[in-house]
Chains A and B, each alone.
Chain A
Amino acid sequence: MSQTLTQDVKRRLYYGMLLVRRTEERIQANYHLREMRSPPHLYMGHEAAAAGVCATLRPDDMVFPYYRSHGWYLAKGGDLDAMLGELFGRVTGCSRGWGGSMHLIDLGAGVYGTSAIVGGTVSHAAGIALTFHMTRRDSVAAVSFGDGATEEGVFHETLNFAALRNLPMVFVCENNLYATNTHIQYRQAQTEIWRHAERFGIPGRRLDGNDVVAVWQAAAEAVARARSGAGPSLLELETYRYFEHCGINEDLDLGYRTREELQAWRARDPLAMGRRLVSDAEAREMEAEIAARIDRAFERARSAPWPVADFQEAAR
């Protein structure tokens, strides 16, 4: 069962990317006010990955973002007010102020909680896929992670188990070349991450992670395969992070990557590449609607109450 690239899907793809980009730009612009005291791992540059995959999913499908969590949370339909509430540490936050930027969750929208530990939720996704299987539901679990997570044992452990049991999963690696500030060539003996799929006998593909339509197409195939009971797939999306690993600034001064490299990737910006998906009028309309949503989310977060400590007894 393949999905069709309708006008509606095109709008959804572009809207998803735009919502993430504009929200993070606003976080960036307001961060110096010291209201959001939570470490942001900005997603900018990766938007096509989350928007492309999430547009193939149903509300009952579950996504498993990692600590660079804003993109998948918003693209899957996570509540914007609750996300900002969480970054502001307010009780209205999606984790009631206990999690912060690295621990977003919106179970109603199909966004599972996110972990600050690299590879932490890869196996959780397999657990939920097991639940889907055991409770005879045809939902799919899509887990995203960076290139660094594929160096963790749990990635290979989970890939093996998911393939062994034909679990309804899609593994989405967002390969942005760097684990914090270390290039993949210093970390991996062979850097074609998609090839790990071959070892477990499941489909693996590497593709341009900045081309939202290409991502959408590949994800649609993988999701259809998972939903049909045929088992998991591994997608390696080549993409790039614009800002520092954690924080709101550029980090070219560190010297681990070059301005030329950054500019080359910015020249292939996923939003610019996807801009043709909607008309000028539609784009303007989306910009206005998103700006209003973000204004409102910031206002609500600023005026929301703080959480109150409800610690249990110190020692039990």
Chain B
Amino acid sequence: MTVNIDVGTVLRGTVCDLYSNLVTRPTGAAVRTAIEQQVIDMGASVVTTIDFSQVNLLDFSCADEIVAKLLLRYASDDGLPGFLTFRGIHEGHIDPIETVLERHALALVSWHEGAAELFGYVDDDERSHWEAVRDHGPIWAESLAPILAVSEAVAAHQLDRLRSRRLIMRRDDGFAVPGTVARGS
């Protein structure tokens, strides 16, 4: 199950109904807290998508409070369940988001016009494996290995790294990028 949370709506509902810019740290903290509460209230969603399309301006403070700290909550042992993806990230959001991702050594999956993109702190092996999963998934390590000309053990190791970072998810039919529509659905 995928749940969409519109950050613009959360901003106007929790901070001020006149705001369309995600600026200042208190604003970011209030929006993040409201999103976390929504995720908890909605229960067992598998993929939560945070939608930035209604957000005009995003500064570093809000990128840190919302994007980085939400990802950190998902990554922690007692953190939020499921997977977190983003959509509606436009050109003006990229610099603050990538800056905070690198600062915390984090990465995220973003959906843009029906295609998944990977932002943030990843090494070349992680990126190549992630892109192969995106392009060929759902897929298992034995099918992925020949595509990337690596051993099955290497492919399995990289898939495990990506899964532990919640950048891919393990499904019954193989590894896939979170938010990918299951075949036949």
Partners in one complex: no
